[in-house]
Amino acid sequence: MVSIDRKRFRKLFPHLAEEVEGGKSKAHIDQLGVSAENEDSLTERRWAGYDPGVIDFIRRCNTEEQAEEIIDYLEKRGEVMPERVAELRRQLREEGLRSFGDKKEPDFYHRER
């Protein structure tokens, strides 16, 4: 494996270094000629291949009962190990539904973040 110092990397790849170190800003995306019509496809591509987990499903629930149903369902399907199921149930019982994170509303994955 070849090692390169930060200064040389910036000199050889100034645009890539800027992107890696600072992230893409909306202004940078605009400079690339991305129109508002294409912004949705950029957002969709960011989530392409993402496989939601048990926490993602729990965060869509309105009630603790719904969360229990999700946990039961995924346990029966073998998608969540028994040890993890116990942890999830304990957290739900002791800390509540929103301890898993804010509620994910419809179109969560389609909104720009």
Confidence class for position 2, pLDDT limits 50, 70, 90: low
Confidence class for position 5, pLDDT limits 50, 70, 90: confident
The answer, yes or no, to whether residue 26 has pLDDT greater than 50, is no
Contacts 24+ apart (CB under 8 A), 96-104: 96/64, 97/58, 97/61, 97/63, 97/64, 97/67, 100/55, 100/58, 100/59, 100/67, 101/55, 101/59, 102/59, 103/59, 103/60, 103/61, 103/62, 104/56, 104/59, 104/60
Q: How far apart are CA 44 and CA 110, in angstroms?
A: 6
The pLDDT value given to residue 7: 80
The pLDDT value given to residue 110: 56
The answer, yes or no, to whether residue 95 has pLDDT greater than 90, is yes
Lowest-confidence segment of 10-14, 71-75, 107-111 by average pLDDT: 107-111
Q: Taking all residues of the chain, what is their mean pLDDT, rounded to a whole number?
A: 77
Instruction: Give the other-Cβ count within 10 Å of 89's Cβ.
Output: 15
The answer, yes or no, to whether residue 21 has pLDDT greater than 80, is no
The first and second tokens of residue 74, run together, are 């995924």
